[in-house]
Amino acid sequence: MNSAQQRGKVIIAGAGPGDPDLITVKTVKALRQAQVILVDRLVSEEILANYAAPDAEIVYVGKQCRSHGTTPQATINELLVEYALLGKRVLRLKGGDVSIFSNVLDELQSLVAHEIEYEIIPGITAALGAAAYAGIPLTARQHSTAVRFLTYYTYSKLTEAYWHELAQTQDTLVFYMSSERLSEVVEKLTRHGISAEKQLAVVEQATTPLQHVQVSNLYDYEKNLGGKTFVSPSLVIIGKVVNLHEEFKWFTNNPTREYYFKPVSEQVGLVLQ
């Protein structure tokens, strides 16, 4: 079973930000051909129900901060290798895009180390889905010169000089996995003199029927949104482009505090011993 000819292949694909209709045609084809599907928490159940082969083995390997049942990355790596060495056609299905704030590098390194064939299929990342469904053009002319994807969900060694540069730039800032530390992000940006013309938008559960957008001026953040708990996943957009939301919003704002994606504790996982 160890010859390259007998080994399977791993497809690493992005499922999009939530709306099941945002999945790519190529990923749908991969779903229909996969014998084993290792799926993240942030993947719509409709995608599996509509496109997975009826006899495919579905393995839930979701992650969720501080939640029981979270699958360690090392276990995911082991599963990919184990199934591929059995000659299976494996689909590793991730929420959003595969290369934006994911652990794809760990998975690729494991596959290369075991000489397993693989393919990468991109998906619509959360920033693009959230911005589109919130009516916020990320690089609108006269509002933004560029866009930056950042994260601040764990201790980050960002220097004060870097925070100052972020506060002064005309780029749109998009923070992934940072809603729990958003007060800290706002404090750093306002301390470094970010323009009062810029606003902040928190997009909860973007592109799903439960999407909810909340907007505030950064200097009024504590009064408007301070102390609030945002439903996961939440994405934060900061910049002058957020001012366009009120004019161009088109998707229903749903204040329901329910989860569109099941917590990992409610999903059935598989862990190697």
User: What strand order describes the sheet that includes 234-239?
Assistant: 147-151, 172-176, 234-239, 199-204, 212-217
Per-residue pLDDT at 268 exceeds 70: no
pLDDT band with cut points at 50, 70 and 90 for residue 158 = confident
What's 150's domain CATH number? 3.30.950.10
Percent of the chain with pLDDT over 70: 92
Q: Is 253 within a domain? A: no
Distance CA 160, CA 174 (A): 19
Q: Name the residues annotated as catalytic.
A: 40, 63
Where does a domain end: 89, 124, 159? 124
Task: Respond yes or no on whether the N-terminal peptide bond of residue 54 is cis (omega within 30° of 0).
Answer: no
* Res. 100 pLDDT band, cuts 50 70 90: very high
Same structural domain, 136 and 154: yes
pTM (2 decimals)? 0.92
Q: Identify the domain boundary among 76, 107, 124.
A: 124
Residue 46 pLDDT class (50, 70, 90 cuts)? very high
What is residue 2's predicted lDDT score, i.e. its pLDDT? Answer: 46
User: Which residue range is the domain that position 180 belongs to?
Assistant: 127-248
What is the rounded distance in angstroms from the CA atom of residue 48 to the CA atom of residue 237? Answer: 30
**Arithmetic mean of pLDDT, 27-37:** 98
**What b-and-e string marks burial along 208-222, b requiring 16 or more CB atoms within 10 Å of the CB?**
bebbbbbbbbbeebe
> In this structure, are 101 and 134 located in the same domain?
no
60: in domain? yes
| 3 has a pLDDT exceeding 90 | no
Given a contact cutoff of 8 angstroms between Cβ atoms, the answer to whether 61 and 76 are in contact is: yes
Find the range with the poorest average confidence among 30-39, 57-66, 121-130, 208-217: 57-66
Q: State the average pLDDT over residues 221-225.
A: 96
pLDDT value, residue 272 = 36
pLDDT of residue 147: 98
How many domains does the chain contain in total?
2
Q: Is 260 part of any domain? A: no
Q: What is the pLDDT of residue 267?
A: 60
Average pLDDT (201-224) is 98
Q: Is residue 273 part of a domain?
A: no
Kindly state whether residues 89 and 144 are assigned to the same domain: no
Residues 26 and 118 occupy one common structural domain:
yes
pLDDT above 90 for 91: yes
What CATH number does residue 61 fall under? Answer: 3.40.1010.10
Q: Which two tokens stand for residue 184?
A: 């800290």
Question: Which residues are CB-contacts of 232 (< 8 A; sequence separation ≥ 6)?
Answer: 64, 65, 179, 205, 259, 261
Residues 77 and 47 in one domain: yes
